[in-house]
Amino acid sequence: MLTKDFILLVIVYSIFFSFFACSPTTQSERYKKPKEPETEPSSSVRFTSKNDTKKDTSVYSAVSDELTEFDELPVEDYPVDTKDFIGKYEKIESLSSALTTREKILFEIISYLNTPYKYGGVDRNGIDCSAFTHHVLNTSIGVELPRTASEQFNIGDKIFNKNELQFGDLVFFNTTRRSYPGHVGIYLGENLFAHASRSLGVTVSSLNSTYYNKRFVGARRIQ
């Protein structure tokens, strides 16, 4: 049978062992969550990272797609061969030492053909309709236009009859509920006009196309 002295000794030994075995570090490891090493924030929350910049760009592109000047994607049921169009004027450019006003505008338009469409875009990396008309006429003949299609619609001499159109007139179309008119191009003659199309980029289209024919709202002569 165990004596009282032996039991007391066991109790004292147990207390002594528990005190020295459980150091503060050991207690922290057992009862507190260890501190995690500091790491760099992920790209999803790092506002200055390259990955975040790409993310912002993709978001802007998505917004841009929604805020174009077209409620419906234009359909070209009278497509124009731009290569054939360019071919008509290549010899003129190589032979003419002094270009006419018409030729200056034409060659500036040709230089922009196939530039991608971008709502809000203002250069050859991507351009919208009113920026295109602004750049072409300003660069070729020094005519300064307002920035938007609706502003350009309020300048110059008003023309409503298609039969009265002349080369260089600005032609306008009601293509969106967000602004009136929503789209603008430059008339070239023979029912053709140059513009920045959402579906084709900078191109030449026909006023006979169903899409543009039913949305034509008039023209402005600014020369």
**CA gap 18, 115 in Å, rounded:** 79
- Among candidate residues 22, 129, 134, 135, the one labeled active-site is 129
**CA gap 65, 152 in Å, rounded:** 23
Annotated catalytic, 195?
yes
* Bridge-based pairing state of the strands 183-189 and 216-221: unpaired
Annotated catalytic, 183?
yes
- Among candidate residues 22, 134, 135, 195, the one labeled active-site is 195
Reference 187, options 147, 150, 133, 134; nearest CA is 133
Asked if residue 167 lies in contact with residue 181, where contact means CB atoms within 8 angstroms, the answer is no
> Across 79-182, where does the E strand assignment appear?
122-123, 126-127, 157-159, 170-173
* Angle at CA of residue 66, ends 184 and 130, nearest 5°: 20
Reference 159, options 128, 187, 197, 121; nearest CA is 187
- Residues marked as catalytic: 129, 183, 195
